[in-house]
Structure 1
Amino acid sequence: MGKLKLRSLTKKKEPEKVVTLTRAERAKEKASIEKELVKKGYARKADLIARVIHAVCSKDGKNVFGEKIPAKKMYEPRLIAGSNVKVERGTDYYMNCDGVVEVLKDERGIYYIQGRLFRFGRIRVSVTGDEMEAYLTLIPSVGEADPVSSEQVISECERQGIVFGLDRDAIRSVVERAEKEGVESKDVLIARGEEPVNGSDGLLEFKVRFASGTPFKLLENGRVDYSEQDRITNVNEGELFAVVKKAQTGVKDGHTVKGELIKSIKGREVELEVGSNITVEDKGHALYYSSMIGGQLVINGKSVSVEPRLKIEGDVGPTTGNIRFDGNVLIKGNIKDNFHVVAKKSITVEGNVGSCVVKSGENLLVKNGVVGKNKAYLFAKGNLSVKFAENAVLVALGNIHIQRAALNCKMTSGERVVSKTEKGQIIGGEIRAKKGVEVKTLGNESEHKMDVFVGLDFFVENRLRELRSTKTKYENGMKKLLLILDKFNKIEGDPENLPEKLKKVYVETRKKRALLGLAIQNLKKKELELMGQLEERWEAEVLVHESLFRGVRIYYGGVFYEPDMTKTRVKIYYDKNYEKIKLEKFIAR
């Protein structure tokens, strides 16, 4: 006997022959036939909703007497697919949409199965792991099902404890779109928590440029200069080198979408430990770090300090490059040719100095010698002391001390030049010393030519020379400006009516003439002051402990003395009363 099975879901199988109605049956189906609903249920698209099992052919039987027993007539179920139902293999009936399945039966015993579009709307509200956002997914209702309402969504949010930052307009927009357009919305943001506003972290801001550590300087022509290196970070005395802005407290607390409080956090403070030679000023919102001395700024981990002395263990050369330092410099080795050392405080060189430039803001000490090769230049704002020097320029605002000998050097001192030790000897070159010279031997038996100037401020003389050079440059510039203005004056009419471009040149030239005229006047005034200072004579004397040789000429202002023969143990000075140079025996004390 055949069977009719109604199912809600099953897997698809291979298609078989589909049972169809005859033409007469279809015509009769179209006529008004009363049908009764025998079963109703809900299925989704592609669900197996029914299966027809066909009857197996019957066979007559026999009793014990051999008499025929006719087989019963078999029942063959008839199931007709209606709307939204798809038949496969002639036996399996599948739903073509989400909705209601209805099974009907007429008076002939024929069954009808049809699908009617129907789907309840579904909502899903999900909250992120940090509970800072909530998202809505809405599948709209279909057919006669009631649409999803905003109240249902809000109710679901309340059920999940979402009470903060709910965006009702976003919910309303999703619901209206589902109702009017039937469009599914997926993961729409409907609630957002409020992040706390934490305090900003402290900030360390350096006010100086740090050395890059580059061991060379790339020149414009593409060549590399290893004498210019960037290895030392200098700071001046009293210089502000860092500002530490303090961390701020939390500004505003936050909330999750479930209303939980998120406390704001104070920012992290900058940890900067104060080392030696540093002052710190607290100005409330920030700490100001300044250097107590000129020196090298050193940062070691979280500690900062200023080192007053830079120590070079070996030579100053290609390995170190030129040295520029705001404190004291100690060089354990030599300063090689063509390198520079400049310090704002004292410089000590334990080795030799070659043909290079050395400038000290205080005292300069070379424990060995200076081999200048006519290129060395040594300058000290304080005293300058060397063991020996040859073919070099030595300049000091204080005294210049030569322990052994100086050969063919140009020396300028704001005080005295002294070389009176056992081997103290100065030969050749030039000496300019405001307050005189004290030396063991001046000149040599070969009557080496040399000039000694004393009694004047030779630094004033140098400044006067530089000032006059500048004044000459300005005066030449003034002549050029006057020539341009003279050409404008030869133009007929008022210069003010000139074309705009020429008028601009005219106005700028007059302005430059006025400014340059003021500058020249100031230079002339300063020139007179320096000339007055230069006329001042200082008490100065030349003391020779042993020998003064021929070839040495000693100047006091406009007069000079030159010995006609070797003199021993003499004192040479200028007698203002007689306005001449005098020489007398000198007895060392």
Structure 2
Amino acid sequence: MEDKSRLDALEEMGKKLHLMEENIHKDEMSVLESIEEQLRYLESSLEKISSEHDHSLDGKIKLEFADEKTEAYITITAPKIGGKKVNFDDVMELLLQEKIKDIDEEVIIKVLKAHTFDKRFLIAKGIPSKYTGRDACFAYQCLTEDVAISEEVLPGQLIFYKTLPTYGEGGISVTGEKIPPCPGKDIKVIPGNKVVISENKTRGYALERGHVFWEGDIVSVEKIKEVKGDVDSILGNINFKGRVHIYGSVSDGITIKTTGDLIVDGKVEEANLEADGNIKIGQSMVGGGTSKTIKAKGNIIADSLEKVILMAGKNLIINKNIVNSDITASKVIVVESGSFLRGGKVVAQEIDVPNIGLESKEKKGKIETILNIQNKVSVREKIYPSVKLSLGNINYPLSEEKERVTMVIQEGKVEIIDYEQIPPLEEPIQFEEPKEIVSTLTPFVILETTSLLEAKEEAAEFLGLERNKLEIQEISKTLNEEGETTYKLRIFSKDATPPYPWEEEIEVEPVDGRFRIIPASEGLYLTVYPPEGKGKRTAEEEVLKEIEEKEYDEVNLQLVKETVNRAKGASVIIGPKQHNEMDGSVNVNVTEDFSKAAITFIPPKKGGNPVEFKDVIKALKKKGVVELINEKLIKDTIRENKFDTPSLMVAEQILAQAGPNAEIEILIKTDTSKIVLAEDDRGRVDFRERSNITNVTKGQILAIKRPLENPGTAGKKINGEIIPPPPPLEMNLSLGKNTEISEDGLKLHSIIDGQAIYINEKINVEPVFEVKGDVNMVTGNIDFLGTVVVNGNILDGFKVKAEGDIQVKEVVEGAILFAGANINIGGGVLGKNKATLFAEGDIVAKYAESAHLVAKGNIKISEFVLHSFLEAGKIITVTEGKRGSIMGGKIRATECVNAREIGSPMSTKTIIEVGVKPQVREQLINIEKLSQEDNKKFERIRLDIITLKNWQKENGNLSPEKEHLLTKLIKLQNLLIMKLRSYSERKELLEAQIARADKGNINIIGTVYPGTTMIIRGAAKEVKEVSKAATFFFENNEVHTKAYQGS
């Protein structure tokens, strides 16, 4: 019964082995090959160990990757005197460790035979990505060539259709990893007001009648009111549901309200402006400090503010200055470069301004600047003590002026830090439209075409519908110059409700009619504008009243009546030119050097005509001004009757432009104040990785000079005289510490490895990086090509890596240190079971507690070692201090261990091991572990084979499945026999190496306590009783004790 049960189990195992057959064969063969490779490497390593070779003198192999790891390069450096050259096996071992595939062994052999050093060679090549995918593009976009800009869109009308980006073809790296394909660029579209976008983001539709606006990535549909000139008392106030765009200025006393954005290209005087969207003013806003207000639910943008009451629902962005204004912004106030905020009261979350306040109260009288800021104040240049500041409801008196600072609330206090730029706070734009409104819309597209078939095909693609399910409505048709018929079509789904009627009228906001009377040289002009919507018409009595007040002569009253009745907006001459003595004139002033010319208009007297353009040009020429005259400005000023501008600049020289100066391009990082923190694949940020050390290598180019090339461009004066360009400025590279300039003077190189520092227009390369205080969150982790000196402590969790020495004046806490040379710690190592120190040379410290220290040279501790792991390639010494004790932990050294005291009266477990190189001991432990595991596998397989053979003996032949299983088990058994034999041979080699070792003493000046285990060249002895002044040594395969012999 027992054999039967075992056979059932074997049968089940056979099924699993059948599935794993291929993997077992590959894995075991791979293991065997790996074992043989390790044997060869071990024998080579043992030979090196026995000769006590200094590996730091050997040649080195540098492996580099390029182009997404589709190319692998090696660089071999020559050995130093007494060192060994790199051989083929060394190179192949490194490449196999890095899992490089398809290695070009011929290149490696040629490089090694030719002794080619310090030169990169390509030794493996993968398959790079072939191409990037196609970018997304607009196949249809409203308000381009498809629909005229002046035309409105209707609810349901397609605004845009874009194609999605495609993916290219991926590649394979030299390690066999797949390189993902690169997609094309997508087009980002954000739905704004009255726009809905399809789920796949490819189509956008209008939700209301209006005009389409593209502002960056945002598309909106809004009704718009445009005013081509100024808004003054003649035009009157504006109250509009939608967007308002005023191409001129806004005069005193005007009120404008809009449910969308408000854009004014000119200036705004003392007026009331209110917008549910943003307000953008092209020029200045100058108020009178009265109750007139500027209010927007969105952002407000302007050139400058003076005596204005303003409220921004989001950000306020000013180009120049804010003077004596009462400002409230729900988010951020930003004043651009070189400007100031002076006087008035400001309330905001955050503010970023170049200058705030006055240098002193006496200079400008009693002008107060009051700031009530919630979160942060950033000053790019200066803030003066005259400013009254409340930050986060904390009054903060300024006792002195401060430069380039940011003031923030930290832990309930106002703290001053280095200047930090504050960008405007922006919220993501969200579109919220009731579903019942969207569901009632019928999507359609407007196309203009000469081919109905092509239009149907395009509409099917744009709307995502089949051609046979489309309905076509003809809006209009015209004949072009070639005699072809051009159709304007509306296309939508046959199954849908017909779209919004194209002919349906929209309600127009009422605007009253208005008129202007302008005297001119041709005669007296009258222009009457019609009303809009249900606005009032201009009354004839209003026109006649102004004619009477201005005392205009010989006016055709019948023509006045007809012009008022027609109200077409056309200018009509209603009388002759008025009296000459009442006309205006012009004065011209020209600078002595003919660089500028200005004119001053003398306005006409009551009823007179303004000066004409031809008279202004004649006056300028008489003064010698014949070039660079701003004729448009003169014509616009005359046409708009702006005769109140004194000294209007109408001609100005073009200055000569010097050619570009010689340039010095710095190729290293010069601004070390900005820190970029990288995220890992989980989106986490290690704030310790913030070091801004600029490491450079010997021979690296630090800066280049771009020589003079362009002589410049000549200028011209207003009298036609040519101005030659000034000569460009020559510049030369500056030689810094540890740098050299190339023979042609165009390149600056480093002559050492180290830290590049840019200061006073010069680059120095320092071989030592010094930390004035602690290594902490301020410095971040340190990775330096030279020597690192830390004048303070190295705190928990930080890393310091140096190609040279690491010198620490104070204490190393739970940190990681790696030195290409020595580590010297003035204090000790307080490791907290986290500290790890590795040195290619020696490690010296005052003490080591709960730490891990590894040195290829010596380790010297002056005071004590407590519960730590120490490993040295040569000698470990703990004798110099008063205590000189080792208590707890594990101590390993190749040659000897010297200490004043080992263990403790409490029998603390302490292990001291000498006489064996650490790496040999580790290899022996690993071999024993592998041997134990494979012995267990071998015993299980042996029993399984016996069971199958017994069944065969008792029942004749085995079934095909059991026969196959038996064959596989025997093959696996043979593989394990080979592995176990190789383990045994390797173990014998290592033990023989340990036995041949001729070094290994443990010297105790003072006391060694029970609980201590001494291991010398593999032999162990546990200390059972207290010993004093003793030397432990190896003899006849045992550890013996004798009187202290000295170190």
TM-score by length of 1: 0.50
Which among 258, 263, 268 is matched to residue 730 of structure 2? 268
Equivalents in 2 of 1:12, 1:414: separation in Å? 109
Q: Quick one: which of 1000, 1008, 1028 aligns to 1:540?
A: 1000
Indicate conservation of the 8 Å contact 2:856/2:872, yes or no: yes
Task: State the Cα distance separating 1:430 from its structure 2 match.
Answer: 0.5
Q: Which runs of 5+ in 1 are unaligned?
A: 1-9, 15-87, 93-128, 131-194, 470-523
Offset at residue 367 of structure 1 (A): 2.0
Q: Unpaired runs of 5+ in structure 2? A: 1-520, 526-573, 578-593, 596-655, 930-982
Cα 1:356–1:547, aligned 2, differ >3 Å: closer, same or farther?
same
The amino acid across from 2:888 in the alignment is G
- Cross-structure match for 2:662: 201
Question: Which whole-Å CA distance do the structure 1 matches of 2:1002 and 2:693 have between them?
Answer: 44
Question: Residue type matched to 1:546 in 2?
Answer: G
Match of 2:889 among 426, 429, 438: 429
Rounded Cα–Cα distance in structure 2 between residues aligned with 1:437 and 1:387:
17
Question: Quick check: 1:234 aligned with 2:686?
Answer: no
User: For 1:399, which of 858, 861, 865 is the aligned residue?
Assistant: 858
* Contact kept? 1:452, 1:553, Cα under 8 Å: yes
- Report the residue type matching 2:797 in the other structure: N
Structure 2 counterpart SS, 1:368: coil
Give runs of aligned pairs for residues 515-526 of structure 1, distance below 5 A: none
Aligned to 1:581: 1039
Which residue of structure 2 aligns with residue 306 of structure 1? 765
Query: 1:98-131, CA deviations, whole angstroms, 9 ceiling, x for partnerless residues?
Result: xxxxxxxxxxxxxxxxxxxxxxxxxxxxxxx99x
Asked which structure has the greater RCO (Cα within 8 Å, sep 6+), the reply is 1
Structure 1 counterpart of 2:878: 419
TM-aligned CA deviation for residue 573 of structure 1: 2.0
Q: Which residue pairs with 2:849 in the alignment?
A: 390
Q: Percent identity?
A: 25
Secondary structure class of the residue paired with 2:828: strand
Aligned ranges 1:340-355 → 2 under 5 Å: 340-355=799-814
Letter in 2 for 1:585: A
In structure 1, what is the Cα distance between the partners aligned to 2:742 and 2:840? 36
- Give the whole-Å Cα distance in 2 for the aligned partners of 1:357 and 1:301: 35
Q: Which amino acid aligns with 1:553?
A: T
- Asked whether 1:556 is paired with 2:1016, we answer yes
Aligned partner letter, 1:555 = I
Match of 1:315 in 2: 774
Q: Which residue of 2 aligns with 1:297?
A: 756
Partner of 1:361: 820
Alpha-carbon contact 2:668-2:694 (below 8 Å) kept? no
Matched residue SS, 2:1030:
strand
**Aligned residue runs from structure 1 range 439-478, under 5 A:** 439-459=899-919
Please report how far the alpha carbon of residue 267 of structure 1 lies from its aligned counterpart in structure 2 after TM superposition: 6.8
1:269 partner letter: M
Under a length normalisation based on structure 2, what TM-score does the superposition of the two structures give?
0.29
Compared with structure 1, are the counterparts of its residues 445 and 11 closer, same or farther at alpha carbon in structure 2 (3 Å cutoff)? closer
Distance 1:351 1:564 in 2: 38
Give, in whole Å, the separation in 2 of the partners of 1:250 and 1:451.
77
The CA deviation at 1:240 is 0.6
CA–CA distance in structure 1, aligned partners of residues 835 and 1042 of structure 2: 36
> Following TM superposition, by how much is the alpha carbon of 1:218 offset from its aligned partner in structure 2, in angstroms?
4.6
- CA distance 1:253–1:322, change in 2 (3 Å): closer
Deviations 1:422-477 (A, max 9, x none): 210001111110111000001112221122221122145558999999xxxxxxxx
Could you say which residue in structure 2 is the equivalent of 1:164? none
| Kept after mapping to 2: 8 A contact 1:310/1:330 | yes
User: Cα distance, 1:583 vs. partner?
Assistant: 2.1
1:202 touches 1:267 (CA, 8 Å); kept in 2? no
| Contact kept? 1:340, 1:358, Cα under 8 Å | yes
Shift of 1:328: 2.3
| Residues 548 and 291 of structure 1, relative CA distance in 2, 3 Å threshold | same
- In structure 2, distance between residues paired with 1:534 and 1:556: 13
Q: Over residues 402-430 of structure 1, what are the superposed CA-to-partner deviations in whole Å (9 max), with x where a residue is unaligned?
A: 11111110100011110113210001111
1:489 maps to what in 2? none
Which whole-Å deviations, capped at 9, do the CAs of 1:359-416 have from their partners, x for residues lacking one?
Answer: 2222212222222221111122221122122111011112111111111101000111
Q: Tell me which amino acid in the other structure corresponds to 1:273.
A: S
In 2, Cα distance between the equivalents of 1:439 and 1:303?
51
Change in Cα spacing, 1:218 to 1:398, as seen in structure 2 (3 Å) is same
Q: Does the 8 A contact of 2:739 with 2:765 survive in 1?
A: no
Quick one: distance in 2 between partners of 1:533 and 1:212? 59
* 1:408 and 2:870 correspond: no
Tell me by how many angstroms 1:273 deviates: 2.4
Residues 460, 260 of structure 1: alpha-carbon distance in 2 compared, 3 angstrom cutoff:
farther
Aligned equivalents of 2:879, 2:773: Cα separation in 1: 31
The yes-or-no answer on 1:572 pairing with 2:1032 is yes
Change (3 A) 1:210 1:558: farther
Rounded to whole Å, the distance in 1 between the matches of 2:524 and 2:671 is 80
Partner Cα separation in structure 2 for residue 573 and residue 426 of structure 1: 18
Supply the distance in 1 between the matched residues of 2:835 and 2:904 (Cα, whole angstroms): 23
Question: Once the 2 structures are TM-superposed, how far is the Cα of residue 540 of structure 1 from its aligned partner?
Answer: 2.2
Q: How many residues align?
A: 347
Aligned-partner SS, 1:226:
coil
Task: Provide the rounded CA distance (Å) in 2 between the counterparts of 1:314 and 1:198.
Answer: 48
Highest CA radius of gyration, 1 or 2?
1
Residue number among 691, 696, 705 corresponding to 1:245 in the alignment: 705
Residues of 2 paired with 1:396 and 1:462: CA distance?
Answer: 15
State yes or no: 1:438 paired with 2:898.
Answer: yes
CA shift at 1:203, angstroms? 4.4
| Residues in 2 aligned to 1:209 and 1:239: alpha-carbon distance in whole angstroms | 19
Q: SS of the counterpart of 1:569?
A: strand
How far does the alpha carbon of each residue in 1:288-340 deviate from its partner, in whole angstroms, 9 at most, with x for none? 3114243x211113111122333223222222222222222222222221122
Alpha-carbon separation, structure 1, partners of 2:788 and 2:1022:
42
1:490-519 CA distances to partner (integer Å, 9 max, x unpaired)? xxxxxxxxxxxxxxxxxxxxxxxxxxxxxx
Per the alignment, in what secondary structure is the counterpart of residue 827 of structure 2? strand
1:538, distance to aligned residue in structure 2 (A)? 4.7
After superposition, the C-alpha distances for 1:208-239 in whole angstroms (9 at most, x for unaligned) are 79756317555555554322213221223x14
Distance 1:211 1:534 in 2: 53
Q: Is the 8 A contact 1:443 1:552 kept in 2?
A: yes
RMSD over aligned Cα atoms: 4.5
Distance in 2 of aligned mates of 1:217 and 1:253: 46
| Residues 173-188 of structure 1: pairs in structure 2 closer than 5 A | none
Check 1:531–1:327 CA distance in 2 against 1; reply closer, same or farther (3 A cut): same
